[in-house]
């Protein structure tokens, strides 16, 4: 096999290892179930993403990238230190290139 073909196969395998439902390296999209909420963050190019965790006040935190810190607190949704108000019990949250939107569970985004 020529060297260029081998390199192309290796590169494809490398990108495929960073792709999946929870992490798509090619599109820069990460997704996680954060408590009852599905959280999607775009513009996040990581091979591996740290899992969401619980906070001391009964909330949840998901910080997949250096510039995306999503906290779901009893008082509401906070993204990168900015409050976005109360979210429904299982609303989906989208952080798309810094813009935050909340959708009823199961709606496509």
- The tens-digit pLDDT sequence of the chain (109 residues) is 456 665 554 444 444 444 445 677 777 899 999 999 999 999 988 888 899 999 988 899 999 998 899 999 999 999 999 999 999 988 999 999 889 999 887 664 5
- Residue 106 is given by DSSP the state T
- What are the C-alpha distances in Å from 11 to residues 16, 21, 33, 40? 9, 20, 29, 26
The model carries a pTM of: 0.75
- Closest alpha carbon to 47 in 63, 32, 26, 67: 26
CA distance 79 to 54: 15
């Amino acid at each position: 096999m020529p060297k260029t073909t081998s390199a192309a196969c290796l590169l494809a395998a490398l990108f495929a290892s960073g792709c999946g439902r929870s992490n798509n390296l090619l599109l820069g999209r990460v997704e996680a179930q954060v408590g009852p909420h599905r959280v999607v963050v775009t513009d996040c190019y990581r091979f591996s993403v740290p899992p969401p965790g619980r906070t001391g006040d009964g909330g949840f935190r998901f910080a997949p990238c250096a510039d995306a810190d999503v906290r779901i607190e009893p008082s509401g949704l906070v993204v990168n230190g900015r409050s976005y108000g109360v979210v429904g019990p299982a609303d989906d949250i989208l952080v798309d290139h810094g813009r935050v939107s909340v959708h009823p569970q199961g709606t496509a985004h």
